[in-house]
Structures are given as C-alpha cells and as structure tokens.
Structure 1
Amino acid sequence: MKTKKLISLLTLTLIALMAMGSLASAESKIVLKPKVDAFALFVDTSPSMAESYKATGTPKIVAGINALKQLNGIIPNLGYQSALYTMPEFTTYSPKATYNKSAIAKGLSSISTDLPFFQSTPIGGGFTDLDTVLSTWKGKMAVIFVSDGLSNAGRKPATIVSDLAKKYGDRLCLHTISVADTPEGIAVMKKLASLTPCGIFVEASALSNKAVLDKFAQDVFYTQEEELTVEIIPVPVAVVDESMQEKIVFRNLNFGFDKYQITDEMEPSLVEAAAMLESYPNLKVMVGGHTDSTGPEKYNQALSLRRAQSVATWMAKNGISKDRIVATGYGEMSPKYDNNTKEGRKLNRRVEIDVKE
C-alpha cells in the first residue's frame, strides 16, 4: 500500500553580504577585525626635524609626535603587538608588547624634541636598523614612519625599503606620515609608502581632520564588518502518521564582507540542518543564493551562485549525498523584501535551502 506523504517547504535562510552592501538586521553589530598582527611607530629625530613645519612655528618633530598621539588615541585594542622606535640613532621608547595606549603615549611623550644640530640623516640606515627587530616578528606587520624625508648619508632609503619589501612581501606595510616642507622630502615620503603593496602616505597636518584620521586608522589597523545573530524558524516538515516536527531555530549565520565561504560560526546551524535532512533521505535539497538590487546585476548573479555553492559543498562534505543537492544563483531577481529600504536590502541578501520530495 502506497503511503501518501505531505511535505511542506522547509526554508533555512542564511543572511549573506553582497559585494557593495553589508550584513545586518535589527540585531546587527559592527565588529572590528585587525589587519595586522603587529605594528611599529618609527620616528625620525634627525636635525632637520627641529625646523618649523610649514612655517607654523611648530617644529616638525613636535608636529609628527602630535600626529602619532592623535592616532594612538583612536587605535582600537585588537590584540596587536606594538613598539615605538626612533632614528637615526636607533632607540627603543616602547618595546614590542601587546598594544597598550598608555605605554605608547608614555613613549611618545618621552621622545626628546631638543634635537642635535650636527648629525647626519641616514634614513636608509634607520630602516636597516629597524629590520633587525622586524626580522623577529611574526605575521603581518605595519610600520608608521614619521619624517620630513630628508636624507643626506648612507644608501638611499628607497633602496633599503625596496629590499625590505622583497624580503617580507605582503607581510609588510610601510605607511608614512609626512612633515616634509620641500618637494624633495614630500617625494621621498610618497615613494617610500608606494614601495610596499599596502603603503599609505598622509600629511601630518591632514590628520587634524577627524575624518582623515579615522580613515587612516582604519586603512592601517582594522576592517569593519557587520555581524548579526538571526533566528530563522523554517516551515515545519509534516509526514503522514507522524506528528508535526518540532521547530528548529538556526542562529549565528554570518558571512563577511564580499565573502561566500562558510564560517565556523555558521557550522553548528548547518550541522543541525544536515542532521534533519538525513532523517529524510529521499528528499532533494535545492540551495538558492540571492542578493539585493545594489550593484551590477551580473556580479550579483555570480555572487549569489558562489554562496549557494558554498552551502551545497558543505552539505555534500557533511553527510548529504551530492546527488540530492542542486545549487542555483538567483542574483537580485527574487527579492522577498523591499529593495527601496535599507532593511529590505539586508534581508534580501540570503541563501535559502528548500527541501522537496
């Protein structure tokens, strides 16, 4: 006797970021993640740094230190290692340790602004000295160099920094805060920043603008991602002669910005979904990816498919036969919410798993 089964649609919604949007819901929060594992503040204390910065009457060394103090005030505590050094006489003002605002502030305040009048300026040599400590560091590193770019002794600084860029590759980012007031000095500071793949040049005076300061800090130290905790309650699965299935709540389903990979936080919910699907081995699994309407339609189509394929691949690797799984990208073509509102766009960035007989 053939048993007739009534199977309703089960939809597991995985809220995902699109390329030009962000992951969010009513429960979203901004999460800061470090771009580097360690950073060094590196200050030029050569004689020319005692000169006035852009005819302001403020010595370049003071302007540079003040810029670093402003920066230190907004660097988030994300577990970095940090240090503070000066050149041309290589001196440690804050040894490498877990980043601490107070320790760096104390070091910056300890740097003498009474600079010698007769001393050469080997910026290249300063970076050679710096390399002796960087060579012991692990992971990705940032160096924030404050100088007027004037060098009159030793090998050219660009040559030394080029060597460091080759040695460390994308592990090293050299950022320059310029207190230069000559075309030559400005050119040197811009050149040094350009020699590493992620280097940034900025004028010290520009950092007095909060927007510029905030952007520089984010570009150097961290990324911002929106994460959320969502509760998705699918339509229950009903089977003849069996009671209505218990509701299943999936939480912590997060994709990073322009990401489609499955994260550790998502796996518990996916394990729960896979276990439920294993209870119904005759069901086909239809995985569909979606985006909102922001951005190019072609890009959204490809992004939605990548997200669907990530979920399908995870399912196939975790006990659900790949013969039962079909992944499809719908791009922005099947919105469930109003793309004219911010919240609607957020909710339209999703992956759905439809279970059918």
Structure 2
Amino acid sequence: MLRAFAAIWAAFCLQAAASAHTANISSSRIVPEGQGRYRVDVGFLGADIERMFAENKKDLKDVDLTEPGVIEGMIGKFIQGRVALQNEEGRACPSTVVSVGEDPTNPYDSKAVLRMDCSAVPGPIFYNPFELLKAQGSRAKHLVSIGEKSDESSLTEAQRMGSEPAPGQVMIYPGDALIDISKPLLSPWELAPKFFAAGVEHIATGYDHICFLIAVVLWASRAWPVVKIVTAFTVSHSITLTLAALQIVDLPSRWTEIAIALSIIYVALENFFTRKVDGRWRDTFFFGFVHGFGFASGLIEMGVPQRAIVPALASFNVGVEVGQIGVVLIVVPLLVLVDKRFFSGERSPRLVWICSAAVACAGVYWLFYPMG
C-alpha cells in the first residue's frame, strides 16, 4: 500500500513540476477612433509566442529569425489572424498590424497593436477573440476593455476605485458569446464571479501552493491545528497579495519563485525531524507572505484596471481561500481514513516521509526550473 501511495504521489509531483502555473490569460483594449475605425491592443503572454512557434516549426526551418523585424512580423500575423471585429453575419473588418513589442504597462505581457476599419461593414460590430483563445488552450481567458486607460475623467471616485458599478470590462472564456462593442460591458462587481473562479483555478493549478499546504498537514490528525495553519496562511498571504495587486510592493518574479520553492523544501524536510503540528501555523504565517506574491501574479497577469481592483482583489482572494480549503478538506480526511484503514488509527511515519520526500523533490525541481 505504501509503494502504491508513493507511486501515485510521485506521479502527481512530476506532473506538478512539469505544468505549474500555465496562466493562459490574454487581454484586449478596443479604442474607437471615429468613422468606424478602431485600435485594438492585444496583450498576451510569452507562452503564447512559444506555442505559436511550436505550431509552425516546419514552416520556420528556412526562415532566418535573426533578421530584424522577422519575429515581430510573425507574431503580428499570428495575432491578426486570431482576433477580429465583425458584424453579425461574420463579415470581418479589414485590419493592419501597427506594432508588436513589450507592453510597458504590464511586465508579464507583450502587446500587438492592430487597426481595424469597420466603416464599410454594415450593422452592429462584435469583437471576436475566440481563435486566440482556441490557440491558448482549454483554460484560456481573455479580459476585454473598451476605451483608453485614461478615459476615466467622467467617472466618480467610487467608480474609479470599483466600489460602484461602471462600464468598461468583461472577462470571456471559450464558448462565451461574441461581444457587442456598442453596448456597455460588465461593471467591476459584475466581473467578481469570474475573478472568484480565477482564484479557485489558481489554487487548483498552482501545484507549488498545493504541495506546500499538503506538506504542512501531513502529520495533522486533529482539526484545531489545521484551522490554525490555514488561518495563519490566509492572513499573511492576503496581506502581500493586496500589497502586490495595489502595486505598493513589487518583488521580481524570479525571487518570488525561488522563495516559494525554498518554502516547499523547508516544510517537507521539517516533517523528517518533528511530528508536532500545533506550532506549524508559524511556518505558514511566515511563508504565507511569500506565497501571497505568487497569488498576486495570477491577478496581475489579468491586467485588471485600477478602478476594478477592489472587487477583483476581493473576489480573487476569496476564490484562493475556497480553493485551499478544498485542498485541505480532501487531504486531511484522506490521511485520517488511511490511518484507520491500514495503520490502526495511527499516522505512519514511512507514509509521511515518502510523501514529504516527493514534495521536497518537486520543490528542488522548481528551484532550478522556475514555474511559468
């Protein structure tokens, strides 16, 4: 039974190390320029570029990618072919690529700027980014904004901060309807359910955070120490998540990734030297500050406008908490069940050590091969 459990656990950790934190988040800002013309700024992650080149590897064998502008031109065509303004019948507005490069407003994104001329396209105009979402995979999501980022002079202070509804953004997923850009988009509070879902997903696919949580409860067999562990982790990571999302504190992502990996290694190795869990809330409180910056990356990558940060931050954080509570509610009862079924109600040291060793190995892997 121990060997089977170890094999399952090792398989999970290998999968976790291979695929942690694939965000698959892109964004668009549609700016009307008058007379049926629009500028569309498309923000996307480096993973999207890597996927594009992987998909077109055969076509690139005779292309000299060192020539100036070649890579930018290919990326521009890739994006141009996957987003469109169109009417209800599917007639697309002609588009041209203006520029491709880094997004100065978001350190996680690159940006392609397109211009689309809909002056000769009859009827209401809809935005269609679903070919881009298809290229990003089943977990893709796309944040759409209308108007310049500075076009908030007419909003009240409460609307700018997100405490009152204001039009402007919508988060879409594969399978959603096309966006009618002539109608107001969702308000920040109407976006909250999707940011909540993104928070849950960040935990569900954040294998580094899952491994950390599992490692600190492996010796737990009573409810109260687990409550203290989860509460301490929640309090501390909520502080740094908020500070990072509000851009009050900013740490380089590489240093955050190193610190998270080291925290995983530490709590896993600690299981070899102590079986006491009553004081482990101190570990989770201390390391929670570090993990908060990791959680913040998932929110920042969405390019949330400043006026939407309050509901986005609140709902994303609640989603993270629900996700981690779900992990604990699965793992701890499972461990207790294994105790009763196979070890006469006692926690097996060999079981804890095998699981801890697998977690530590995953942490070492992430230390040298950052999550991305």
More strand by share: 1
- Would you tell me which structure has more helix in proportion to its own residues? 2
